[in-house]
Amino acid sequence: MGPMFRYILGSSVKYLASLPALRHHHMLQNRMSTSPPPVAAVCQVTASPDKEANFSACKQLLEEARQQGACMVFLPEGFDYIGSSREETLSLSETLRGDMISRYAQLARKLEVWLSLGGFHERGHDWESDRRIYNSHIIINNKGDIMSVYRKSHLFDVELPEKGVSLKESAFTIPGASLVPPVQTPIGKVGLGVCYDLRFPELSLALQRHGADILTYPSAFTVATGAAHWEVG
């Protein structure tokens, strides 16, 4: 049996204990141990180009999740910002050593909570010459250390004229060169993906073979493409 943990869901951060499957897990856990299972919080934000406003909203969610007992908090793809144009998206990007990740590392350390930052606009290693970025999923531990960085492998290029959707992520994003091993966290071994990666089962199978207990695909789909990928239970 895999690891037992509870979920909190934000933006209003609510327990999901009413779900039948989770109730069953809770009953099993209660029979197996008197200690409560660790709590994971999954938060949702509506990001904008305003990085400061986005950080403020995420900070509030992290603080609320920690108050409710979460030991690990998951933020979505584009938690840092969603640009209104390619130019804005590129201009707002930062490196892993920039102010944004530094502030999240400080917050993780202050709150003593692990963070999954699920889609950070990371400036590429050849930024000065090619002006392209990575879409990076970052795990930070409760000491504020970066434990892992996965750069999205499968970039999202789609044309849906009938729905008014035209996206070409590959025009300004560098595909990641490799998978990264699952990360041991307080809620189990977490396998890292991002968004469109979920369409490629080889990634999931590889992570599972390397011991992943949990597979993650933080996403910021459009309405049209999201409906084609997700079924909310």
Q: Is 163 a catalytic residue?
A: no
Cα–Cα distance measured from residue 209 to residue 213, given in angstroms and rounded to the nearest whole number: 10
Q: Strand order of the sheet with strand 214-216?
A: 183-185, 188-192, 214-216
- Active-site choice (43, 58, 71, 195): 195
Cα–Cα distance measured from residue 56 to residue 62, given in angstroms and rounded to the nearest whole number: 10
- Active-site choice (43, 58, 152, 189): 152
**Which residue, among 109, 119, 101, has the nearest Cα to 142 in the 3D structure?**
109
The full 3-state SS of 132-166, as one line of letters, equals: CEEEEEEEECCCCCEEEEEECCCCCEEEEHHHCEE
Q: Is 112 a catalytic residue?
A: no
Q: Which residues pair with 184 in a beta bridge?
A: 189
Q: Is 77 a catalytic residue?
A: yes
- Active-site choice (77, 112, 163, 202): 77
Cβ within 8 Å of residue 97, ≥6 positions away: none
Taking each continuous run of H as one helix and of E as one strand, the counts in the chain are: 7, 12
Catalytic residues: 77, 152, 195
